[in-house]
Amino acid sequence: MGEQVVVRKMKIGQRLLVAAASLGVFALVHGQGWAAPAPDLSGVYFNAHPPKTLQIVGGGAPPLTAAGKAALAANAPAVAKTKIPPAGQDMEACLPVGPTRILQQPYPMEIVQKGDVLLLIWEQNHISEQVYFNDKPDPDADWAYMGNSFGHWNGSTLVVETSQFNTMTFLDDNGLPHSENLKVERRIRLLQGGKALEILATVTDPEMYTKPWTVRAVLPRRTDVKIEEFICGIRNWETRYTRAR
């Protein structure tokens, strides 16, 4: 009789443990700390015919301040030097173009993801961006054309926060300005079962814009494309479009 009581108590205890474990898993799955593995974004993405203008979420134009409008008008001569074609006529055409204007360019980009570092490699001008995880901006870092980027995961979306830009770039091909206080947040995720990459880039720059605004780009995954050589210099322009095949 005593042995039966002991066995019964053991079975009840085991059931309680199983129930507690089940509740713990339920809580984790429903937002109490469950951490799904980050998706692997590695691959080449390429939109050979990007829109001529940035695709602003919600439509309309970037909400320029008075200072922004003045800076846009003042940028016109510099914009002319970067226009392609004619290409390579001025070295301004060979400089990195910044994280939003790059979305207008008809060249592929590759993501290389490994450990706590993720690389965005753009074919145009062979621009590369290093996105660091588990780190924070260094106030003494050099300010750069593409800024300095730090990332974290929000579920299956990579969130890249970029700041510390120099003021030698435009936000689009028409000379949209920015100040040294520009901040860009990019939310990057896979779409269509991994067949495409979506980039939502939110621009915040109170000096030039009355409120933050967001642009969207979708780049198809291309397993048949590799990053190619890109040559830019004065009167020297060689790309996948000019190179003899």
What whole-number distance in Å separates Cα of residue 122 and Cα of residue 96? 10
Mean pLDDT for the stretch of residues 226-241: 85
Question: Does a structural domain hold residue 245?
Answer: no
Counting the structural domains of the chain, the total is 2
Question: Do residues 1 and 100 both lie within one domain?
Answer: no
Asked if residue 126 and residue 57 are part of one domain, the reply reads yes
Same domain for 111 and 5: no
Task: Name, in order, each residue with C-beta under 8 angstroms of 39's C-beta and a sequence gap of 6 or more.
Answer: 156, 189, 190
Mean pLDDT, rounded, for 124-139: 88
pLDDT higher than threshold 90 for residue 61:
yes
Q: Indicate if the pLDDT at residue 236 is higher than 80.
A: no
Q: Is the pLDDT of residue 20 over 50?
A: no
H or E stretch covering 4: helix 2-29
| Structural domain contains residue 182 | yes
pLDDT of 104 higher than 80 = yes
Could you read off the pLDDT of 209-226 as tens digits, one per residue? 999 999 999 999 999 999
In this prediction the pTM is: 0.81
91 inside domain: yes
pLDDT digits (tens, 9 = 90+) for 153-212: 999 999 999 999 999 999 999 999 999 999 999 999 999 999 999 999 999 999 999 999
The pLDDT assigned to 32 comes to 44
What would the mean pLDDT of 124-132 be, rounded to a whole number?
A: 92
Domain that holds residue 14: 1-34
Confidence of residue 245 (pLDDT cuts 50, 70, 90): low
User: Which three-class secondary structure state does DSSP give residue 7?
Assistant: helix
pLDDT at 30: 43
Pairing between β-strand 148-154 and β-strand 127-132 as defined by DSSP bridges: parallel
Let me know if residue 243 belongs to a domain: no
Average pLDDT over the chain reads 84
